[in-house]
């Protein structure tokens, strides 16, 4: 299994697990959240269009994300296997992805859903710190860097995400339920939805993911 989507509410551990799993099995990790944050930081056209939605915890319009992913599919960037993290996030995005795949003779092996409760999401995101250089994620108090406030890998100063403020997190959870959860049904109908308990230690989640991937 090498073509996967990671699904799950904000804070369910998609990024944490996708980085490790992609490295372990040698596939590309593509996070639309990371791509968008870079675009905002660099002030590109995409970044300018995405910024205000992201700050409010709303979804960036479908056509922008679909265009972004279509470029990656058509230029062969995903052809040796991938984990899509944060895309698709709406039914129209899932439908467009399916069409892109048919057109490019690609297939999706699985959509892996990380299940985590709302309270755990709020707890995790209020403690999330990330490295702006390598995107690695830390957590206060469960997963701290060796030296306070700096990334273990490259020494960059860790940052908080503005959209991890609690009122924005609550909105992102609502947005997830309204706009993203329906795609669980989409992939259940395609018979590729696999559910994994996200609310356990990161190493236990990783073991469960490896079992799924090696099946």
How far is Cα 159 from Cα 208, in angstroms, rounded to an integer? 30
Rank residues 105 and 111 by Cβ distance to ligand ADP and give the closer one: 111
Rank residues 40 and 105 by Cβ distance to ligand ADP and give the closer one: 40
- Name the residue number minimizing CB distance to ligand ADP: 33
Burial of 212 (0-12, 13-18, 19+ CB in 10 A): middle
Smallest separation (angstroms) from ligand ADP to the CB of 50: 7
Just list the catalytic residues. 14, 89, 128, 161, 172
Rank residues 110 and 139 by Cβ distance to ligand ADP and give the closer one: 139
Q: Which 8-state DSSP code applies to residue 158? A: P
Site residues for ligand ADP per CB under 6 A: 8, 10-16, 32-33, 36, 53-54, 57-60, 65, 86-87, 89, 93, 124, 127-128, 137-139, 142-143, 163, 172, 201-202, 205
- 3-state secondary structure labels for all residues of 1-19: CCEEEEECCCCCCHHHHHH
Smallest separation (angstroms) from ligand ADP to the CB of 62: 7
How far is Cα 191 from Cα 171, in angstroms, rounded to an integer? 30
- Residue 135 near residue 15, CB atoms below 8 Å: yes
């Amino acid at each position: 299994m090498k073509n996967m989507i990671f699904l799950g509410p904000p804070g369910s551990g998609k990024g944490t697990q996708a980085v490790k799993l992609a490295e372990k099995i040698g596939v590309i990790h593509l996070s639309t959240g990371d791509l968008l944050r870079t675009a905002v930081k660099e002030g590109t056209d995409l970044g300018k269009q995405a910024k205000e939605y992201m700050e409010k915890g709303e979804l960036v319009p479908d056509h922008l994300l679909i265009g972004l992913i279509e470029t990656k599919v058509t230029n062969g960037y995903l052809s040796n296997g991938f984990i899509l993290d944060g895309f698709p996030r709406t039914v129209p995005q899932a439908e467009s992805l399916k069409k892109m795949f048919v057109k490019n003779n690609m297939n999706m092996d699985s959509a892996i859903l990380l299940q985590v409760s709302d309270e755990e999401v709020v707890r995790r995101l209020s403690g999330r710190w990330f490295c702006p250089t390598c995107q690695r994620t830390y957590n206060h108090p469960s997963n701290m860097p060796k030296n306070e406030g700096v990334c273990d890998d490259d020494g960059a100063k860790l940052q908080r995400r503005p959209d991890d403020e609690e009122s924005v997190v609550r909105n992102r959870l609502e947005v997830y339920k309204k706009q993203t959860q329906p795609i669980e049904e989409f992939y259940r109908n395609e018979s590729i939805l696999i559910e994994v308990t996200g609310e356990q230690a990161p190493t236990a989640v990783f073991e469960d993911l490896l079992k799924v991937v090696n099946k």
